[in-house]
Copies of this chain bind each other. A is one copy, B any other.
Amino acid sequence: MSSGVPETKVLAIASHVVYGYVGNTMATFVMQSLGCEVSAINTVHFSNHTGYKQVKGRKTPAEEIQQLYEGLQQSLLNDFDVLLSGYIPSAEAVEEVGKIGRELKYNSAMKPGSFFWVLDPVMGDAGHLYVSEDVVPVYKSLLRHADLILPNQFEAETLSDVKITDLSTLATAIQTLHHSYQVPHIIITSIRLSKHSEKTIPGSYSTSAEGGPGEDEIMSVIGSTARSDHSPRLWRIDIPIYPVFFSGTGDMFAALTVARLREAVFEAGIQNTARWQSPDDVEPTDLPLAKAAEKVLASMQAVLQDTYEFYKNAIPAIEAIDERTGEAMEEKAIKKRDKLAYLRKTKAAEVRVVRNVASLINPPDVGNYRAVAVDVEFTKDEGDSQPGELTVVNSGGGADHGAVHTENDSR
C-alpha cells in the first residue's frame, strides 16, 4: 500500500485551509497516503488559500505554536523522525519553529540520522517577499539546523545573498548554502528555461504540444547533496509548465519529498548516517535526493495533468456565464462578473490530489523524469546567450539551456 516508505513520524508545521489544498492541508494527505504518520501544527486556520485574493480566518500566534509543542512534550508524543516546516506567518512564529527544530535535533543527537529537518523557507517569489522582512534573518539563523531546504529561486537568492543571473551564480548560491550554512541537501524547486534560448541551442528540451503543458517554457528542478568538502553535486530534472497557476504544488513537492527521500535513504542504507549524507564517491544522479525527486516529480506531473484536464473542462461553463451576462452591463456589474469568474477558475484549478492518490502511491512514467548530472560553466562571454542568461550543461545527454526568469514558481 505504501510503496516502500518506511514507517515515518512527521511533525508538519504549515498552514491549514478549510477549502482546497495548500500547506498542511496538502502535505498531510500526501504524506499519509504514502504511509507516514503526520502530526500537523497549523500556522494559520484560513477559509481558503490566498490565490482567491480574499480569505477569512486567523493566524496562529507564536505562543500557541509553542504551547502545542509543549503539549506533545509533556505527553511523550514528540518522537518525530522528520520535521517538515512550511509557511509560518511571523518572525516570532518562525523563531518558535526554530526552537522546536533545534530541540528535536538535540534529542536525536545520540542517534545519527534519526531526525531530519526539511525546511521550506516560504518567504516570497518573483522578486517579492510575502512575509515581513524580519523573517529573513530568522530563517538565515535556522539554516544550519536544517538538513534539506527547498527554496524557490527568489528564496535561494535571499538566503544566500547571491543574485542568480547565470549558471555561475546559481552554483555560487548553492555552494554558499552548502558551505556557509552547512546545509547538506538543497533543492531549488523552480528555475525557468525560456523557449527563446531553446531555439538557439540545437537538441534542447521540447515540451509536449497539444492540450498539454505550456509551450513557451520549461522548468527545471535543481538539487544537490554536498560532499564532505561542501562542494555541490548538482542534478537536474526538467518538468513541463502548465499555463495555469496551481496553488500548493510547492507543498505537494515537499510532502512527497519527505516520504520518497526517506524511502531512498533506507534503500541506500544511510538512514543511520548523520544528516543522511551520501559518501563522496556517490555520483549526483545516484544520490537518494535525486532518486527521490524523480518519483516526486513523476507523481506531481500525473496529478497536475489530471488537474489541468479538469480545469480545461470547467472553463467553457465559466466563460459561458461571462458571455451570457456580458451585454449592456454597468461597470460595477462587469467587475462583479469578472470577480466571480476569477473565483470559479481559481476553484477549478485546485489540485486534484485526493482523486489521484494512485499516482502518489505509484508514480507513473518515472522514466520521463530521470535526473541528469549538471556541470556549470560561465556563459557570459558566449555569443548565443543573452546577458543575464543561465546555461545549464548536462554532463550526461544533450545540452539544455535557458534564460532565468524571476517569475512565479507554482508554489
Chain A positions within 8 Å of B, measured between CB atoms, are 1-2, 7, 11, 16, 18-20, 25, 28-29, 32-33, 35-42, 45-48, 52, 54-58, 60, 64, 67-72, 74-77, 340, 343-344, 346-347, 354-355, 357-358
Determine whether the beta carbon of A54 is less than 8 Å from that of B75: yes
Determine whether the beta carbon of A344 is less than 8 Å from that of B67: no
Known: A16-B40, A354-B32. A75 touches B48 (CB 8 A): yes
The CA-CA distance from A394 to B230 in the complex, in Å, is: 73
The CA-CA distance from A64 to B46 in the complex, in Å, is: 10
Determine whether the beta carbon of B57 is less than 8 Å from that of A19: no
Contacting residues, chain B, for A357 (C-beta < 8 A): 1, 32-33, 35
Cross-chain pairs A/B with CB under 8 angstroms, 24 sampled: A11-B18, A16-B16, A18-B40, A18-B72, A19-B72, A25-B40, A29-B32, A32-B354, A32-B357, A35-B354, A42-B45, A45-B68, A47-B69, A47-B70, A48-B71, A48-B72, A48-B77, A54-B71, A54-B75, A55-B71, A56-B70, A57-B64, A75-B343, A75-B347
Minimum CB–CB distance for A80 against chain B, Å: 10
Contacting residues, chain B, for A72 (C-beta < 8 A): 18-19, 47-48
Specify the main secondary structure of chain A where it touches its partner.
mixed
Minimum CB–CB distance for A324 against chain B, Å: 17
Determine whether the beta carbon of A56 is less than 8 Å from that of B45: no
Contacting residues, chain B, for A46 (C-beta < 8 A): 68, 71
Q: Which of B52, B76, B358 contacts A1 (CB 8 A)?
A: B358
Tell me which of A11, A56, A74, A76 has the highest count of chain B C-beta atoms within 10 A of its own C-beta: A56
Determine whether the beta carbon of B47 is less than 8 Å from that of A75: yes
The CA-CA distance from A240 to B177 in the complex, in Å, is: 56
The CA-CA distance from A77 to B49 in the complex, in Å, is: 11
Contacting residues, chain B, for A70 (C-beta < 8 A): 47, 56
Minimum CB–CB distance for A341 against chain B, Å: 10
Contacting residues, chain B, for A67 (C-beta < 8 A): 47, 56-57
The CA-CA distance from A47 to B354 in the complex, in Å, is: 26
Minimum CB–CB distance for A52 against chain B, Å: 5
Determine whether the beta carbon of B47 is less than 8 Å from that of A57: no
Contacting residues, chain B, for A7 (C-beta < 8 A): 355
The CA-CA distance from A58 to B41 in the complex, in Å, is: 12
Contacting residues, chain B, for A2 (C-beta < 8 A): 355
Minimum CB–CB distance for A118 against chain B, Å: 18
Contacting residues, chain B, for A1 (C-beta < 8 A): 355, 357-358
Q: Given A47-B77, A56-B74, A76-B343, 8 more contacts at CB 8 Å?
A: A19-B72, A19-B75, A29-B32, A35-B354, A46-B68, A54-B71, A57-B68, A75-B346
Contacting residues, chain B, for A38 (C-beta < 8 A): 354
Q: 6 nearest interchain CB pairs? A: A47-B71, A56-B71, A19-B77, A56-B67, A19-B39, A52-B75
Q: Which of B32, B47, B68 contacts A18 (CB 8 A)?
A: B68
Q: Which of B37, B40, B343, B355 contacts A35 (CB 8 A)?
A: B355
Contacting residues, chain B, for A42 (C-beta < 8 A): 16, 42, 45
The CA-CA distance from A289 to B359 in the complex, in Å, is: 32
The CA-CA distance from A74 to B16 in the complex, in Å, is: 18
